[in-house]
A and B are shown apart, each in its own frame.
Chain A
Amino acid sequence: KQHPTLPRDFSKVILTLDNVLIPEDKLSPTPSLQDGLDSETEMDLRIIGCELIQTAGILLKLPQVAMATGQVLFQRFYYSKSFVKHNMEVVAMACINLASKIEESPRRLRDVINVFHHIKQLKYQKVIHPLVLDQNYINTKNQVIKSERRVLKELGFCVHVKHPHKIIVMFLQVLECEKNAKLVQCA
């Protein structure tokens, strides 16, 4: 109750920003809107980015908390920087890489890039080819490393995220509904 919370809906996960509350004037207009992006496209990019993080996280066998953290970082970053200037896919990779470290389940950057490559091929229904470790790969990798640093910088290292999921489960226990598997799973 001391912490005001701001629930937001995306990617079928409700996240509450507990430790960093974004002031209203930052929420709108967003940096992307200021760069001339329309709000619908921005919302789409946010949703796609979060879904990418979720899918990649599953393929990387990351705990769900890492995906949730990655998504929060991703969302927060784009309230400070614009989609026009910062490639959504690279930032999404940086966020999941960063989140895997924050949640103490680090994954190799190469695996992250691999998984994103795989998802892309699936999406465009291409024949699945393994990632070629060429100059292109090296460039992507450097971009992700750079992007990770930028995310840390923009968020001022405030990257610990308190997720509401545990609290929901706790409330359910108080309400003696913990046996209701459907509700618990929804949390």
Chain B
Amino acid sequence: MTSRRDGLEQNYEEIAVIGNGAYGTVYKARDLKNDGQFVAMKRIRIQNTEEGMPMSAIREIALLKQLENYEHPNVVRLLDVRHTDHTASEIRLMLVFEYVDQDLSTYLEGCPPPGLGPDRIRNILVTSQGTLKVADFGLARVYGFQMALTSVVVTLWYRAPEVILQAAYATPVDIWSCGCIFVELFNRRPLFCGQSDIDQLSKIFDILGLPPEDDWPENVSLPWNSFKAVPPQPLEQFVPEIDNDAKDLLEKLICFNPHRRLSAQEAMNHSYFRDDLDSLRTSSSLSVSEGESFETDGRSDTPSKHGGS
């Protein structure tokens, strides 16, 4: 149990502004109490309602704190939560995170991208050792009430169709997003760049084809027949560098029906990753016996499975 007091801002020395978003400002700072190591400070403003602290803010920050118990190597550490000042209408909190120098977009920029716009994936970070770290999950909901005011298109591109359709959704939405990012690792640009909810769905169907009516979620306001029936396109047309294993994985990650989409565990067991681990273990890229142990359809001989990385 830690207790924090006000007026201890001098513990951190702001160095530069890293980002400025709808949610507030992110600073790079030095933690003066800990040998001046770098931290990322995120100031967030939470509306003070008639009912006190909003439920979403409590739940999300508590969840972040809870996650800390697991000390997952691929999750950005939340070092501190500080209550700075508050007014009658809003509470200002400062979340102190470990500092990671680059986000995935900057990292991918290492290899010049074909037309990567100013929109970037901000919440997947890469350390100088090449470790991926996820930041900021649930906070999207905390920021949510303000985000509605600005056009935050970036997250739309990674949004699963059931979310856009406002149907019931659960963890498969994350798998969808993984699929979108997986493509981006090959192409170094997003796959579905919709300008609006409807446009996003059309962009998805342009590639995946309009799903059969049975797969359309129940009780959604957008009827199935409001979209043109288009046939699915071969994925390699949009991801030229993809090999068969990766293509198979991708198809199962961006499957329209969330019930048939892979689970995280199933995805980890996919032969795409299996092959990668085995080749690391034997330090030979393709061994024959291994190739036969899977019933995959004609594997490609592309040696590099990670386009770009």
Contact = CB atoms under 8 A, between A and B. Distances in A.
Given A98-B58, A157-B81, A152 B53 contact: yes
B69 interface: yes
> Which of B52, B59, B61 is most buried by chain A, counting CB atoms within 10 A of its CB?
B52
Nearest to B78: A157
A68 interface: no
B198 interface: no
Contacts of B91: 149
B305 interface: no
Contacts of B66: 19, 158, 160
Given A101-B58, A157-B61, A160-B62, A106 B1 contact: no
Interface string B69-96: 1000000000001010010000100000
Contacts of B64: 157
A145 B90 CA distance: 12
B55 interface: yes
A46 interface: no
Contact of A101 (B48, B59, B65, B81): B59
Interface in B208-234: none
A109 B51 CA distance: 6
B1 A22 contact: yes
B58 A156 contact: no
A33 interface: no
A160 to B, nearest CB: 5
A148 B62 contact: no
Contacts of B168: none
Which interface class (under 10, 10 to 19, 20 to 34, 35 or more) fits B? 20 to 34
A79 B81 CA distance: 20
Contacts, number: 70
Nearest to B59: A102
Interface in A9-30: 19-20, 22, 26
Interface in B1-16: 1-4
Interface residues of A, number: 29
Nearest to A19: B69
A144 B50 CA distance: 11
A48 B222 CA distance: 54
B63 interface: yes
A154 interface: yes
> Which of A108, A145, A156 is most buried by chain B, counting CB atoms within 10 A of its CB?
A156
Contact of A79 (B1, B50, B63, B69): B1
Given A102-B62, A156-B81, A157-B62, A97 B4 contact: no
Contacts of A152: 53, 58
Contacts of B61: 157
Interface string A61-81: 000000000000000100110
A148 B53 contact: yes
B1 A155 contact: yes
17 contacts: A76-B1, A79-B1, A97-B52, A101-B58, A102-B59, A109-B50, A145-B48, A149-B52, A149-B53, A149-B83, A149-B86, A154-B3, A155-B1, A156-B2, A157-B61, A159-B62, A160-B63
Given A98-B52, A148-B52, A152-B58, 15 more contacts: A80-B3, A97-B51, A97-B52, A101-B55, A102-B58, A144-B52, A145-B48, A149-B91, A153-B83, A156-B1, A156-B2, A156-B65, A157-B58, A157-B61, A160-B65
